[in-house]
A = this chain, B = another copy of it.
Amino acid sequence: MAGARRLLKLSGWLPMKRGRLREPTLAFETWGQQNRDRDNAVLIFTGLSPSAHVASSPEDPSTGWWEDMVGPDKPIDTNRYFVICVNSLGSCFGSTGPASIDPDTGKPYRLTFPVLCVEDIARAGAEVVRSLGIETLYATVGASMGGMTALAFCTMFPNISRGLVAISSAARSTPFAIAMRSLQREMIRKDPHWCEGNYPPGEGPITGMRLARKLGMITYRSAPEWERRFGRERATDEAPNGPFRIDFEVEAYLEAHANKFVGAFDANCYLYLSRAMDLFDIADHGGSIAAGLDPVQLDRALVIGVNTDFLFPLKQQIELADGLKHVVPEVDFRALDSIQGHDSFLVDMDRFRPAVASFF
């Protein structure tokens, strides 16, 4: 276990949108200190694949997945804020998920894990906040699936957070995004090594996960970025790939990303988290996006989108910001001109740092 990771084991059952979970564990990390008024806490929800390790700390000096954004004198300044990041329920970095042992059977849940919804991840986050004795959050922050989760959190627990920062997120998934993720899941499920989810721990559908990661990467970046970055450059390192070898640099790039990902993420967890995004629709909480957002009681919200993001397109950020404007006194919407598509919040820090800092 990494030195900074803390585990909260809940007693009894955690209710889920479509089931319940007995005594789940939630992994999280914290940075900074709570102030005397206990009103400086910032809760961060993650995208599909990261752990709770959003930034380095003395306890775990390894680079976090948003190292440039969170830390002393960073936009989310851990000298001023008490930052909490939760590993999503259903993930595989300490929080209970399909790869965890079911206490009732002594065996991994695998596909007996209840259908996971974004709302369940939000509820798990609320349990972590409660366990820390926090009644008020300065802000809830999330990008991508984390933005969906932050939005669900502010809808389901409207009295906790005073602010919301939703980045490259959405009030619900589009059919295009559903198609892209559904196909990723199918690639994993159709790998014979998936074994209907019953692969041995640590093994599993490596080929399916590699293919899924490649399609994921295609949806996370943008055509203009690749045009600028790769053009029609030929691959220099030809993988021993049979007669259909890697011809172009863009193929080698995807290959490298697939190699990095495999082994780092449990396939069943990926399936559950991916589907949770498809199922998310804030309109489920009231019949329309506006009605779904109605319970929200925020002072301020910041919505950030990127013009080259085609997975969570700018249109969805505008839709979300417009919806929030009906219920939130102060809504700031920013469309950033980043070239890296959906992943820009992880890469184009020169644009994202000031945008996020403006809120804090």
Contact = CB atoms under 8 A, between A and B. Distances in A.
Interface of A: 111, 172-176, 178-180, 182-183, 185-187, 189-190, 192, 196-197, 207, 211, 214-215, 218, 222-223, 226-227, 229-232, 242-244, 246-251, 254, 271, 275, 278-279, 281, 310, 313
B218 A183 contact: yes
B223 A211 contact: no
Given A176-B223, A310-B310, 7 more contacts: A175-B227, A175-B231, A175-B250, A179-B250, A183-B214, A187-B211, A223-B313
Q: How many copies does the complex hold?
A: 2
Contact of A254 (B183, B189, B249): B183
Contacts of A227: 174-176
Nearest to A243: B111
Q: Which 5 A-B pairs have the closest CB atoms?
A: A176-B223, A175-B250, A175-B226, A175-B230, A111-B243
Chain B CB within 10 Å, residue with most, of A173, A230, A243: A243
Nearest to A214: B183
Given A218-B180, A244-B271, A278-B247, A186 B211 contact: yes
Query: What does DSSP make chain A's interface, helix, strand, loop or mixed?
Result: helix
A179 B254 contact: yes
Contact of A244 (B223, B232, B275): B275
Chain B CB within 10 Å, residue with most, of A183, A222, A246: A183
Contact of A183 (B173, B185, B215, B249): B215
Given A244-B189, A271-B244, A310-B310, A251 B211 contact: no
20 contacts: A111-B243, A172-B232, A175-B223, A175-B250, A176-B250, A178-B248, A179-B226, A182-B251, A183-B211, A183-B254, A185-B244, A186-B211, A186-B214, A187-B187, A187-B211, A190-B207, A196-B242, A211-B211, A223-B313, A244-B275
Contact of A178 (B183, B242, B250): B250
Contacts of A189: 242, 244
B218 A179 contact: yes
A207 B186 CA distance: 10
Nearest to A187: B211
A232 to B, nearest CB: 6
A222 B214 CA distance: 20
Nearest to A111: B243
Chain B CB within 10 Å, residue with most, of A174, A179, A231, A313: A179
A248 B278 contact: yes
A63 to B, nearest CB: 27
A214 B179 CA distance: 9
A251 to B, nearest CB: 5
